[in-house]
Structure 1
Amino acid sequence: MQPGSEASGTVRSDVQAVPARGAPRQPAENRRGKDKPTRRVQLLPQNSVVASYAVLLKEVRGEGLLVRCQRFYLTVMLMLMLAVTATAAGFLLLGDTWFQLIIAGILGIILTQFAFLGHEASHRQIFASRAVNDRVGRFLAAGVVGISYAWWIDKHTRHHNDPNTVGKDPDIAMGTLAFREEDAAPRTGFQAWFTRRQGYLFFPLLSLEGLNLHVQSIRTLSRRGKVEGRWTELVLIGSRFGAYLGILFWFLPVGLAVAFLGVQLAVFGIYMGASFAPNHKGMPMIPNDGSLDFFQRQVLTSRNVRGGSFVNTAFGGLNFQIEHHLFPDMPRPHLRRAAAIVREHCQRLGITYTEVGVARSYAAVITHLNRVGLAARDPFDCPLAHRYRRR
């Protein structure tokens, strides 16, 4: 995006990709999370927004909000290591009992928290040195969580560059779920049946996301072409799964070991998906040929989730998604202070700043997926009834 160019993209509140020119509509979720009638808002000229972002960045930097918080992250790592130790002790003390499934669920939560740290390392939030961040991030991702750091970096970088942009953001690419009516409409048979109910099936489906993350990682590391740190990650992931599965099947009967693994993967997948989904799902989408400046592209497509320290810890800082996208290397402890500055900045510019509670964020995701899913028609549906059902 070139500073000073004219804004030509549009976004709209019903979250469909729209023509590259026109006026956007304000999302139904406003800054305070209350419903208000949708109104059209003209995108500001990019040159004025680019200039204002430079001022915002200077203010944030002046407040010291981009300074690393190594003590915080070292404390979190220490607490997680203590949690792993306590979980291992509980595993050994319980022995052959179905109460082990509680331990499995706890382990799934702990691994997700380690994944948050790996995500923050990938954004250079922990250490000043890029190399150190990468080494720590790769160890946490591959050696502890069991997913490829290289795969994550590639996918996540493309998402940050073009959030909710059709054909560019891998997080809205067509797959099991359809995020646009254009993707849902051609589906037939069981796929159409599933898509029409995808909002309600979203969270149950997340129970498979943990397995999917591992599978995608192995696929990336096994494919031809250059993959940075391929052999390091293969060794780390192989050692991790070898030790993990070896311990499970050594200490537990086969059936219980399989159940333990299933519960851990399910909790991990649901927790990961539930932490990332509210960030952009159900927010405006940008057409492939749309042209928005960096500031509006990041703010208009992101949703913050309100809450105190518990929510911030549970989401790994992802609840401040707008600030995270505007300042990717900002440490987690500074995001709340930055949010107040960014919120005021958006008010001055008249740019929609979306912030809702936890329950409303999930409701927005489910509602959006179901609305998109209605485009997947049953071939035996009456067209007239189908048209009115979608209204």
Structure 2
Amino acid sequence: MNSINYDAVKAAKSKSRALSFDEIQEFGRKIEAIRQDTMAKIGKEDSDYIYKVRNFVRYTEIASRGMLMFGGWIPPVWLLGTAMLGVSKIVENMELGHNVMHGQFDWLNDPSLNGANYDWDTICTGEDWKYTHNYIHHTYTNVLGKDHDIGYGVMRMTRGQKWEPRFLFNVPVAFVLSTGFEWLLSLQRMEFEKVLSGEKTLKDVYLQSGNWRKKALRQFAKDYVFFPVIAGPMFLPVIAGNFFANIIRNYWSSAVIYCGHFTEDAEMMEDNTANETKAEWYLRQIRGSSNFTGGKIIHFMSGNLSHQIEHHLFPDVPANRYQEMAPKVRAVCEEYGQNYNSASFAKQFASVWARLAEHSLPDQMVDKIKATRSKLSLKNLFARAA
């Protein structure tokens, strides 16, 4: 029996064909074959790639911080230095840190690129990230009540979540989350929303936040104390450059994450994971994920999470392989009538905000608005006139 039950959470109508249990198992075998074929090719090409990525991060950080420290009062130099530092932070987080901490390059036996040891340039500790993201999110992708990434506990994303007045602020909350993405996402494991519901106290959160407080202090000191102080007379340009570089990183990172998880066609499911087969897990990853198209630069800048479907299917496969895997996954999806949710970045990004806006309102109000719009559509007006 298929363990995925969409009707129970009143999900949006799926664009995918319903599959029998046997079809799902065969579907899963074909997806697994893609993984095995790719893993058999992993080697020097992949190691060369990740070392080039690391060098890119190092050299762009050195160059950008140098520009801010020695030419920060010159507006064009400050702008270029800030933008380059933002790019460096984006690539470090998304193409280097995120992928390394998934264990994608553990096979290199390089301690500096080992998922257990890597410490990335962001507030969230590696330990917290690997628990909330690698374990919780990737195990229970888009499962209501299990995957905290569904709205991060503060946004309503589906009719399966009971409407509350606070969700009227879905859109502004999403914008605030994007602005402070580094800080707010790092608090995810503390589950502050449980303080509002009375399930936890502030004391509980404080006791749980020891490692977070140490990492946050270290990151804050690096960007807003150490580098500005050693810059001497360039203190203000450096501190401003670091601040805006972090904002650049926050907006881009959140946009990539939103487009991979919150588009209108990304489906949410009830929890039936106890009896879920690997093939059903594969199917759930596809139905709950979104890709966006683009060239080499956009794939690189997104840490290849422009291929979020492939990342959810194969989180331990080096992400630089996702682009070659994508057409194969898409072909299997087409064979079995499964929606392969892919569109331009602009279209996916717009659909995210449309979804946030829709679910900010009570379901009855949304239904009335849609019914009214349907009645007033030109097609229906002409039909009635005829």
Q: Report the residue type matching 1:50 in the other structure.
A: Q
**So what's the TM-score if we normalise by structure 1?**
0.76
Q: In structure 2, what is the Cα distance between the partners aligned to 1:302 and 1:241?
A: 33
What SS class does the counterpart of residue 107 from structure 2 fall into?
A: coil
Name 1:179's counterpart in structure 2.
Answer: 157
Q: Deviations 1:135-165 (Å, cap 9, x if unpaired)?
A: 4564342xx3342111111111211111111
What's the RMSD between the two structures over aligned residues? 3.5
Asked if 1:210 corresponds to 2:182, the answer is yes
The code of the aligned residue for 1:316 comes to: G
**Alignment partners' CA distance in 1, 2:92 and 2:116:** 10
| Residue 304 (structure 1) aligns with | 291
- Report the secondary structure of 1:305's partner residue: strand
Q: Secondary structure at the match of 1:299?
A: helix
One of 26, 41, 56 as aligned partner of 2:17: 41
2:167, 2:122 → 1: CA distance? 34
CA–CA separation in structure 2 for the residues paired with 1:41 and 1:130: 43
Q: How far is 1:239 from its partner?
A: 4.5
The residue type paired with residue 295 of structure 2 is G
Aligned pair 1:265/2:246, yes or no?
A: yes
For residues 161 and 205 of structure 1, the distance between their equivalents in structure 2, rounded to whole angstroms, comes to 24
Taking a change above 3 Å as real, the CA distance of residues 18 and 263 of structure 1, as seen in their structure-2 partners, is: same
- Contact in 2 for aligned 1:66/1:331 (Cα 8 Å): no
TM-score, with normalisation over the residues of structure 2?
0.77
Quote the offset at 1:76 in angstroms: 0.8
After superposition, the Cα gap between the structure-2 partners of 1:258 and 1:175, relative to the gap in structure 1 and judged at 3 Å, is: farther
Compute the displacement of 1:206 (Å).
0.9
Note if 1:124 corresponds to 2:103.
yes
Write the deviation string for residues 13-44 of structure 1: whole angstroms up to 9, x where unpaired: xxx9238xxxx8334xxxxxxxxxxxx732x1
What stretches of structure 2 of length at least 5 have no aligned partner? 193-204, 372-386
Question: Does the aligned pair in 1 maintain the 2:144–2:160 contact within 8 Å?
Answer: no
- 1:1-391 map, 5 Å: 6-11=1-6, 17-18=9-10, 25-27=13-15, 41-42=17-18, 44-64=19-39, 67-68=42-43, 69-96=46-73, 100=78, 103-116=81-94, 117-128=96-107, 132=111, 135=114, 138-141=117-120, 144-156=121-133, 157-173=135-151, 175-181=153-159, 183=161, 185-187=163-165, 191=166, 193-195=168-170, 198=171, 202-203=174-175, 205-214=177-186, 224=207, 238-244=217-223, 245-251=225-231, 259-282=240-263, 283-289=266-272, 293-375=280-362, 388-389=368-369, 391=371
| Residues 147-205 of structure 1 deviation map (CA, whole Å, 9 limit, x = unaligned) | 21111111112111111111011101563322234657321xxx45523xx1x773464
SS at match of 1:61: helix
Q: CA separation in 2, counterparts of 1:86 and 1:371?
A: 44
Structure 1: runs of 5 or more not aligned = 1-5, 28-39, 377-382
Structure 1 contact 304–320 (Cα < 8 Å) conserved: yes
Paired positions, count: 347
* Residues 172-181 or 115-124, more deviating: 172-181
Q: Structure 1: how far apart are the matches of 2:30 and 2:159?
A: 39
Per the TM alignment, residue 362 of structure 1 is displaced from its structure 2 partner at its CA by 0.3
Q: Would the aligned equivalents of 2:124 and 2:215 in 1 still touch at CA under 8 Å?
A: no
Identity of aligned residues (%): 18
Task: State whether residues 275 and 318 of structure 1, in contact with CA within 8 Å, keep that contact through their aligned partners in structure 2.
Answer: yes
Would you say the 8 A contact 2:4–2:269 is kept in 1?
yes
Whose helix fraction is larger, Structure 1's or Structure 2's?
A: 2
Amino acid at match of 1:26: S
Preserved contact between residue 292 and residue 343 of structure 2 (Cα < 8 Å): yes
